[in-house]
A and B are shown apart, each in its own frame.
Chain A
Amino acid sequence: MAIAHSTSIISQAVFRSINGGSLASILPLSQMMLIDFVPTSMRGTAFGLMGLCEKVAATLATSAVVWYADWRHPYIIVGSTSILMAGAAKQCLKMNHNTKIKEGGDEKEEELSLLGVFKRISQIPAFVYLVAQGLFGAIPW
């Protein structure tokens, strides 16, 4: 909504950066929420369905923009919808933060630093290959 009300290119760039940063932080969180709610055997379908919904929504949103005379209106609508969706998600999705799911009985719930995360990743061979395939597979054509 701040982008819609910005009057200069600098303010537009600043708000877009904040918007991009916020959306980027939501991506891993939304994936985590999906993993928590869906059993292991259904995760592929759930991620597939999420991908399908994302693409359909993106297509509809892009098509809808054409019908607005003022470019600010889509921003205001998206901003208002996001606020409503955040409220709905808080109400509908109940997360239990206090219980720990024991896997193998020796689960350690500790937060890692950024360096710690990369160190942890490097210790999992399958994860190293997952990142490596992403390096080569994400070439856009």
Chain B
Amino acid sequence: MSFLLLLLEWKDFTKEQIISFQIVGGIMGTNGALLGGVLGDYFAEHSYGRVGVAIFSVLSGIIFYGLFLFAESYSICITCYGLFHLTGGWCPAAACRPLCAELAQNKSERAQIVAAWVLLEKTSSSVFGAPLVGFLTRRLFDENLVSTNQEKASVLAMNMFLLSTFFWSMCAYFFMMMGRAEHNRKLEVKMKNKRGSSPLLV
């Protein structure tokens, strides 16, 4: 968020306009969380349903974030920012949490696995999150070549776009792999149940 504030300031937006970004992002993000969950449930019956919703969320997030970063006018900028928050936060409710619950065999294991998942994700986001982004952005940023706020904004926007696209593309790739693994697991369970219910095998 600190990088965003810096970018909005360099884009010469007023303080009121910057606050409006925070409000729009908050409102759209709040509704986006619920929308993601509803869509996840709606498409859950399809073999790649939940994962498909998550991949759509990540890809649309990349597009709207890119449009927001490079938009010049305030109206386009805030629209893309709102749409980014509306579509970019579907993954936890639509796919990650419901699928995580399905992967565990029993109740006690489920609690431990979710706790371990939360631990791994929080630790990784603390280590690979802001510190890594700050380090990479600093490495990509040559202060001697830029002087005006407009130039600074365009360089920062490009760095942010490249980094976010790389990380979120990796995220989408792992969702695709997860979808395939989940599809195979469901097939295995179906086969096992079929074999178990077959009178020839009793």
CA distance A51 to B196 in the complex (A): 39
Cβ-neighbour of B34 out of A42, A48, A107, A132 (below 8 A): A48
Query: Is there an interface contact between B170 and A131, defined as CB atoms closer than 8 Å?
Result: no
Query: Among the interface residues A27, A56, A127, which one has the most CB atoms of the partner chain B within 10 A?
Result: A127
Known: A47-B37, A52-B30, A108-B105. A126 touches B99 (CB 8 A): yes
Interface string of B1-41 (1 = CB under 8 A from A): 10110000000000000000000001001110111111111
Binds B, one of A6-14, A29-37, A65-73, A79-87: A29-37
Counting CB contacts under 8 A, is A5 at the interface? Answer: no
Interface 0/1 of A40-78, CB less than 8 Å to B: 111111111111100110010000000000000000000
Known A136-B167, A137-B168; contact A32-B181, beta-carbon cutoff 8 A? no
- Residues of A close to B116: CB separation below 8 A: 114, 117-118, 121
Cβ A141 vs Cβ B160 within 8 A? yes
Determine if B109 and A120 form an interchain contact, defined as CB atoms under 8 angstroms apart. yes
Q: Is B73 an interface residue (CB 8 A)?
A: no
Confirm or deny: B146 has a beta carbon within 8 angstroms of a beta carbon on chain A.
Answer: no
Asked if B91 is at the interface of the complex by the 8 Å CB criterion, the answer is yes
B181 CB to nearest chain A CB (Å): 4
Interchain CA distance A130-B99 in the complex, whole Å: 9
A43 touches B3 (CB 8 A): no
**Which residue of A is nearest B117, CB measured?**
A131
Whether the pair B125, A44 counts as a contact (CB closer than 8 A) is: no
Can you name the residue of chain B whose Cβ is closest to the Cβ of A110? B108
Whether A44 pairs with B36 at a CB distance below 8 angstroms is yes
| Residues of B in contact with A, size category | 35 or more
Does B191 reach chain A (CB closer than 8 Å)? no
Q: Is B174 an interface residue (CB 8 A)?
A: yes
Do the beta carbons of A52 and B31 come within 8 Å of each other? yes
Q: Is the CB of B125 within 8 A of A46?
A: no
- Asked whether A112 lies within 8 Å of B164 as measured between CB atoms, the reply is no
User: Smallest CB–CB gap between A59 and chain B, Å?
Assistant: 6
**Known A44-B37, A48-B38, A130-B100: A139·B125 in contact at CB below 8 Å:** yes
Bitwise, A123-141 to B at CB < 8 A (1) or not (0) is: 0111101111111111111
Contact B124 A44 (CB under 8 A): no
Q: Are B106 and A107 in contact (CB under 8 A)?
A: yes
Q: Does B192 contact A (CB under 8 A)?
A: yes
Q: Which has the most chain B C-beta neighbours within 10 Å: A43, A45, A101, A133? A: A133
16 A-B residue pairings within 8 Å (CB atoms):
A28-B111, A43-B101, A47-B37, A48-B40, A48-B93, A55-B29, A108-B106, A110-B109, A117-B115, A127-B113, A130-B174, A135-B125, A135-B128, A138-B128, A139-B128, A139-B164
Instruction: Kindly list 15 other residue pairs between chains A and B, CB separation below 8 angstroms, not including A25-B115, A35-B101, A139-B167.
Output: A31-B97, A31-B101, A31-B114, A43-B98, A46-B37, A47-B37, A48-B94, A51-B33, A104-B196, A117-B113, A120-B109, A129-B175, A135-B121, A138-B124, A140-B133
- CB-based closest 7 A-B pairs: A48-B37, A44-B40, A51-B33, A129-B178, A138-B125, A133-B174, A137-B171
